[in-house]
A and B are shown apart, each in its own frame.
Chain A
Amino acid sequence: MTLALTNARIVLPEDVVDSVALRVDGDRIVEVADRPAPGDTELDLGGRWLVPGFVDTHVHGGGGESFQSGEPEAVRRAVAHHRLRGSTTVVASLVSRPVGEMVESVARLRELVTDGVVAGVHLEGPFLSEGRCGAHDPALLRDPDPELVRQLLDAGRGAVRMVTIAPERAGGIAAVRAVIAAGAVAAVGHTDATYAVAREAIGAGATVATHLFNAMAPLHHREPGPVLALLDDERVTVELIHDHEHLHPSVVRHVFAVAGGRTSLVSDAISAAGLSDGDYLLGGLGVVVRDGAARLAEGGALAGSTVDVHRAFVNAVRDGIAIADAVASAASTPARALGLDHVGCLTPGFAADVLVLDDDLEIVAVMKDGGWLGDAPQRF
Chain B
Amino acid sequence: MTESTVFDTPAQLGETLAIEIANGITAAMAERRPYVLGCPGGRSPRPVYAALATQVRLRKLDLSRVVVAMMDEYVESVNGRYRNVDPAASYSCAGFAAREIAGPLARAAGPGRGPSAVWVPDAADPDAHEQRLHESGIDLFILASGASDGHVAFNPPGTHLAATSRVVELPETTRRDNVATFPQFGRVENVPHFGVTVGPATIVANSARAVMVVHGIDKRVTAARLLNSTTYDESWPATVLHACHHPSLYLDTTATRPGAGPE
Q: Does A320 contact B (CB under 8 A)?
A: yes
- Bound complex: CA A333 to CA B243 (Å): 41
Question: Does A320 lie within 8 Å of B57, measured CB to CB?
Answer: no
Query: Which one of B11, B19, B22, B60 contacts A360 once the chains associate, using CB atoms below 8 Å?
Result: B60
Question: Does B16 lie within 8 Å of A322, measured CB to CB?
Answer: yes
Scan A254-288; emit 1 where CB is below 8 A from any B CB, else 0.
Answer: 00000000000000000000000000000000000
Q: Does B177 contact A (CB under 8 A)?
A: no
- Bound complex: CA A321 to CA B22 (Å): 11
Number of A-B contacts (CB under 8 A): 24
Q: Does B78 contact A (CB under 8 A)?
A: no
Q: Does A318 contact B (CB under 8 A)?
A: yes
Question: Does A360 lie within 8 Å of B15, measured CB to CB?
Answer: no
Contacts of B16 in A (CB 8 A): 322
Chain A, residue nearest B20 (CB): A320
Contacts of A317 in B (CB 8 A): 58-59
Query: Which one of B9, B11, B15, B59 contacts A318 once the chains associate, using CB atoms below 8 Å?
Result: B59
Contacts of B1-17 to chain A: CB distance below 8 A: 9, 11, 15-16
In this complex, the interface size class of chain B, counting residues with CB under 8 Å from chain A, is 10 to 19
Query: Which one of B9, B11, B22, B60 contacts A320 once the chains associate, using CB atoms below 8 Å?
Result: B22
Q: Does A323 contact B (CB under 8 A)?
A: yes
A132 to chain B, nearest CB (A): 32
- Bound complex: CA A49 to CA B15 (Å): 16
How many of A's residues come within 8 Å of B, CB to CB? 11
Q: Does B131 contact A (CB under 8 A)?
A: no
Q: Does B230 contact A (CB under 8 A)?
A: no
Q: Does B23 contact A (CB under 8 A)?
A: yes
Q: Does A43 contact B (CB under 8 A)?
A: no
Contacts of A320 in B (CB 8 A): 19, 22-23, 26, 59
Contacts of A320-343 to chain B: CB distance below 8 A: 320-323
Contacts of B58 in A (CB 8 A): 317-318, 323, 359-361
B105 to chain A, nearest CB (A): 14
- Bound complex: CA A286 to CA B93 (Å): 63
- Bound complex: CA A318 to CA B22 (Å): 9
- Bound complex: CA A94 to CA B231 (Å): 60
Contacts of A297 in B (CB 8 A): none
Contacts of B60 in A (CB 8 A): 318, 360
Q: Does A16 contact B (CB under 8 A)?
A: yes
A269 to chain B, nearest CB (A): 23
- Bound complex: CA A15 to CA B11 (Å): 10
- Bound complex: CA A318 to CA B58 (Å): 7
B68 to chain A, nearest CB (A): 21
Contacts of B11 in A (CB 8 A): 16
Chain B, residue nearest A359 (CB): B57
**Contact residues of A with B, CB < 8 Å?**
15-16, 317-318, 320-323, 359-361
**Contact residues of B with A, CB < 8 Å?**
9, 11, 15-16, 19, 22-23, 26, 57-60
10 further A-B contacts with Cβ under 8 Å, apart from A15-B9, A318-B60, A322-B19, are: A16-B11, A317-B58, A317-B59, A318-B59, A320-B19, A320-B59, A322-B15, A323-B58, A360-B58, A361-B58
Q: Considering the complex of A and B, which 9 residue pairs feature the smallest CB-CB distances, nearest first?
A: A318-B59, A320-B23, A320-B19, A317-B58, A359-B57, A322-B15, A361-B58, A322-B19, A320-B22
